[in-house]
Amino acid sequence: MTIHGAFRFGLLGGLGVLTALLIGNAVVTLATVITYVGFALFLALGLDPIVRKLVDRKFPRPLAILVVVLAVLGLFAGFVLALVPVIVEQVTNLYNSLLDFVTTYNSLGELITAIQSIIPIETLNVQHTVDGIITFLSDPANLANIGGGVLSVGAGFANGLLGAFLTLMLTIYLVISLPAIKDAVYRLVPATKRENFVHIGDQVVDAVGKYVIGQGTQGLANGVLSFIAMSLIGAQYPALFALIALMFSLLPLVGTITGSIIIIATQFLVDPSHPSTAIWVAVYYLVYSQVEAYVIGPVIMNRAVKVPGVLVIIAALAGGALMGILGAIVAIPLAASVLIIMRQVIVPAQEAR
């Protein structure tokens, strides 16, 4: 290789590395936007089967889309107008209950003694923990960091509301435009291979849509049943904890267990004089978790996405490690999509050799 050839090769290689770095930086910068678009597309694929079912029932497609969009907007508005005031009220009551619990004692020492009587000292040394917190708060630099963290939390909450609104708008637009988007993608494939690609693509879209509907149904079932059960038990703040149960159920594998632990622990804290209430709530979630693990979950996974159990665990863990909560949610339908491609493209190609 001549000097000029080596120089040209090195220059092209350097430009390639620089281009890759620029693309990576752009992806990191646009990560939030990509997340909104990806989640909106995920929801749109979940709503598309409902639109197609309405079309199969002789609804004109524009009317079917209008019905689905109005239903989504109605659910969103109903959540805001009906649930939010109740949840805000119950969060306020929860705060007041915790405040009453703290202020019923004449001194900090009495409070520490009361808490330590509940928690074994081998598990947590409350006095040592409180001393550490006081030492931490005594440093002005730490107080400044806490103030900045509070501002960051407020900004994050505002960004979350904005993100939810943008995701809703993007979902509606994608539901309307999904056939045109799929047609545009299919046209990029050579005509000789297009029919098979369309067949596989439609199966992938169906798998994702069924998973979204199934996971949403599972979360809704957990939320409704939690509200009914906690209302019958006489637990505190059933609407608030039903919402927590619903939201955590959307997370695969560990969502229901994590939400249940939070609810049970909080029930005990807000009403320590009646531990039987928290015990009954724990019994309910123990029974429900078994029903969900052995009845509801397998039905959704086997009928909706047809992913083996071990792959469900691997996909959820890998997705959560790579992309956090969103990754854990979308990992299972992505695994189903990969399985479809392997079964209908890679395996037949290997068999044909």
Give the rounded distance of the alpha carbon of 195 from its chain centre. Answer: 34
- How far apart are alpha carbons 47 and 68 in whole angstroms? 8
Flag the least confident range among 43-52, 133-142, 180-189, 251-260. Answer: 133-142
Alpha helices, H only, 234-274: 238-249, 255-270
Flag the least confident range among 72-86, 181-195, 301-315. Answer: 301-315
User: Mean of the pLDDT values across residues 214-236?
Assistant: 84
Flag the least confident range among 46-55, 177-186, 221-230, 337-346. Answer: 337-346
- How far apart are alpha carbons 222 and 250 in whole angstroms? 10
Confidence bin at 3 (pLDDT 50/70/90): low
Rg (CA), the chain: 26
Closest by Cα among 346, 347, 320 to 334: 320
pLDDT for the residue 27: 60
pLDDT for the residue 251: 75
pLDDT for the residue 23: 74
213 has a pLDDT exceeding 70: yes
- Buried-state track 123-156, b at ≥16 Cβ within 10 A, e below 16: eeebeeeeeeeeeeeeeeeeeeeeeeeeeeeeee
Flag the least confident range among 45-54, 105-114, 215-224. Answer: 105-114
User: Mean of the pLDDT values across residues 235-256?
Assistant: 79
User: Mean of the pLDDT values across residues 39-44?
Assistant: 79
pLDDT for the residue 196: 81
CB 353 within 8 A of CB 328: no
- Statement: the pTM of the whole predicted model exceeds 0.75: no
Confidence bin at 16 (pLDDT 50/70/90): confident
More confident residue, 158 or 40: 40
303 has a pLDDT exceeding 70: no
pLDDT for the residue 223: 86
Confidence bin at 90 (pLDDT 50/70/90): low
pLDDT for the residue 158: 63
User: Mean of the pLDDT values across residues 257-284?
Assistant: 82
More confident residue, 45 or 315: 45
pLDDT for the residue 155: 54
Residue/partner pairs of 220-225 with CB below 8 Å, 24 or more apart: 220/246, 221/249, 221/296, 222/246, 222/249, 222/256, 222/259, 222/288, 222/292, 223/249, 225/288
CB 248 within 8 A of CB 258: yes
Surface-to-core class of residue 187, CB atoms within 10 Å of its CB (0-12 exposed, 13-18 middle, 19+ buried): exposed
Alpha-carbon distance values, 239 to 104, 135, 204, 222 (Å): 27, 38, 36, 12
State which amino acid sits at residue 287: V
225 has a pLDDT exceeding 50: yes
More confident residue, 304 or 330: 330
324 has a pLDDT exceeding 70: no
Contacts of 313 (CB under 8 A, 6+ apart): 253
Domain ranges of the chain: 189-353
Percent of the chain with pLDDT over 70: 65
Q: Quote the mean pLDDT of the chain.
A: 74
Can you tell me whether residue 104 is helix, strand or coil? coil
User: Mean of the pLDDT values across residues 78-82?
Assistant: 65
pLDDT for the residue 150: 47
Alpha-carbon distance values, 299 to 53, 102, 212 (Å): 21, 46, 14
